[in-house]
Structure 1
Amino acid sequence: MTHIELSVLIPAHNEAGNLPALLDEIALALSGITPVITPVINYEVLVMDDGSSDDTWSLLVQRAQHDKHLRPLRHSHSAGQSTSVWQAAQLARGTWLATLDGDGQNDPADIPALMQAAIDEDAVLVGGHRVVRQDTKLKLLSSRIANNIRRRLLDDDSPDSGCGIKVIRRDAFLSLPYFDHMHRFLPALIHAQGGKCLARPVNHRERGTGQSHYGLGNRLWVGIVDLMGVMWLKRRSRLPALVTGIEDSELLRGESEAVTQAHEESVAAHVVSSRMEALKG
């Protein structure tokens, strides 16, 4: 079986209007037409349909019939962005993971440069920095407040921790403790393990179609609550330093090709347990 170098992970909730163009752009960015890393990179794209009520799932199934890189995954009900990314990572086969939002605001053309920076500078994570953001004033305000609080309390120097486009070593991601909304704190979590994190400027675009799933309530206030949990985690947990092991492709490959109901239930139980443990601290 061909070794997969990169797994692109996309959480998608009611993004049928945005996914076709986004998947086309990923294919173009990683096809080797304008190579940054190698003439051709072996990659896969895992799109997690997070309980969509539109045509997201049927679109993915139909496209997968002729797109050898695409692996559609599906939640029976919405579990959120972090859970979608985390579960997709369990099934990914790549040495590296690249995360993208499903709304089209992240530009897949930035992936090769982020991956190259990680390789050249021996970094565990390279995150995007949206220098010029195409968001509403409310979204910008809530993100700015949350980022300032996060930087001060976590001693996290990432300029844009919430940016959806990141490249991260899969083994490092899977070593992290799972909790809801963890995607907002990946640089701080990797840094706590002794991993090197970088940020690079990336393109940011207006949403293609549909509406944002985040607002002041679930971006700012929930983010602050989660921040308290990450602070507790950094104080109470003794996270091991990241190590590089033997590159055995069989160890990097997920065996399952679908997200089962039993797996969803176990993850849900784990989320509840994690929340309860955090509150005890």
Structure 2
Amino acid sequence: MDKLYIVIPAYNEEANIQKTIQQWYPIIEKHNGGGASKMVVVNDGSTDDTWKILCRLSESMPLLKPLTKKNGGHGSSVLYGYNYAVEMGADYVFQTDADGQTDPGEFEEFWNLRKDYDAVIGKRTIRGDGKARKFVENTVCLLLRIIFGVKVPDANAPFRLMKSGLVKKYIKKLPKNYNLPNIMMTTYFAYYHEKLCFREISFKPRQGGVNSINIKKIIKIGWNALRDFRKLKKQM
């Protein structure tokens, strides 16, 4: 039976984390490969009660594996979770976020495609997090097309199922603690013609708490991303 690892990064998500875990835990129970599947929640140095809530929940949820690390941003937490899943021998790695914007009910369609594709990635046609975020995503996809020559409908969706071997293959190409790993993973998959498909997903507004990313941070991330894209393209 396939061993599934669900990776969820979390930073100051005390308003969302319990509900998110309760929503996603039945998925990992259903796809518990011989007792070896895990839901891995990576606490990125939260300053609120996120870590305490995770530890408490893990006492009654044996498939929940809380991990904690120093704050390094969303990307570093995603990479931390991916590396852990690969090291633990996962067959498949699924990533989503802790803010309650994705729907566990849409997971099965992705899981049913796992034998046909190496990676199945969400496509957010309608986004509940606002026009500004949609604009940013469209700009990223345009940059990827210009710099890497790849055409993808959504590069950064936090709803992706990947074969562990594929994650292992490309994660080593990324700088340590790289801040946009999902974007570059999607780019690598498309650039090197891996068996990749996109499926439409719903994407709700953040269910609670405050988003730590504002327009000023987005602009800064954008300039850094452009520089990094050019550097990474030279290595391809």
TM-score (norm 1): 0.73
Shift of 1:117: 1.7
> What is the distance in 2 between the residues matched to 1:26 and 1:54?
22
Determine the structure 1 residue equivalent to 2:83: 90
What do residues 120-152 of structure 1 show as CA deviations (whole Å, max 9, x unaligned)?
x2x221110112110123323323223322233
Distance 1:146 1:89 in 2: 22
Question: How many angstroms apart in 2 are the aligned matches of 1:69 and 1:54?
Answer: 23
1:53-82: CA deviation from partner (whole Å, max 9, x where unpaired): 11100000011111011000001x311112
Q: State yes or no: 1:134 paired with 2:128.
A: yes
Aligned residues of 2:7 and 2:78 also touching (Cα < 8 A): yes
The residue identity in structure 2 corresponding to 1:197 is L
CA displacement 1:15-53 (0-9 Å, x = unmatched)? 111111111111234444xxxxxxx54331000000101
- For 1:135 and 1:151, the matched residues in 2 are separated by 24
Tell me which structure has the larger Cα radius of gyration: 1
Q: Which amino acid aligns with 1:78?
A: N
Where does residue 211 of structure 1 map in the other structure?
210
1:104 aligns with 2:100: yes
**3-12 or 203-212, which deviates more:** 3-12
- The whole-number CA distance in structure 2 between the counterparts of 1:134 and 1:109 is 17
Alpha carbons of structure 1 residues 4 and 14: separation in structure 2 relative to 1, 3 Å: farther
1:90 maps to amino acid:
N
Aligned length: 225
What is the aligned partner in structure 1 of residue 164 from structure 2?
Answer: 170
Structure 1 residue runs of 4 or more that deviate by more than 6 Å after TM superposition: none
Partner of 2:8: 10
Residue ranges of structure 2 left out of the alignment (5+ in a row): none
Unaligned runs of 5+ in 1: 33-39, 238-281
Contact 2:123/2:157 (<8 A) preserved = yes
What corresponds to 1:79 in structure 2?
A: 72
Using the alignment, how far apart are the partners of 1:192 and 1:20 within structure 2? 37
Q: Taking every aligned residue pair, what percent have the same amino acid on both sides?
A: 20
Contact 1:146 1:220 (C-alpha < 8 Å) held by counterparts: no
Contact 1:10 1:102 in 2 (8 A): yes
Q: Could you tell me how far apart the structure 1 residues matched to 2:141 and 2:217 are?
A: 14
Distance 1:6 1:201 in 2: 21
Q: What is the aligned partner in structure 1 of residue 194 from structure 2?
A: 195
Structure 1 counterpart of 2:228, one-letter code: G
Q: Contact conserved, 1:142 with 1:220, CA < 8 A, in 2?
A: no
Read off the aligned partner of 2:101 and give its amino acid letter: Q
Cα pair distance change 1:90/1:99, threshold 3 Å: same
- Contact residue 192 and residue 234 of structure 1 kept, 8 A: no
Distance change >3 Å, CA 227–CA 199, structure 1 → 2: farther
Which whole-Å deviations, capped at 9, do the CAs of 1:141-175 have from their partners, x for residues lacking one?
32322332223322222201111111111121122
Task: Map 1:1-281 onto structure 2 (within 5 A).
Answer: 5-32=3-30, 40-42=31-33, 43-75=37-69, 77-92=70-85, 93=88, 94-119=90-115, 121=116, 123-176=117-170, 177-179=173-175, 180=178, 181-237=180-236
- Pick closer, same or farther for the CA change 1:185–1:85 going to 2, 3 Å: same
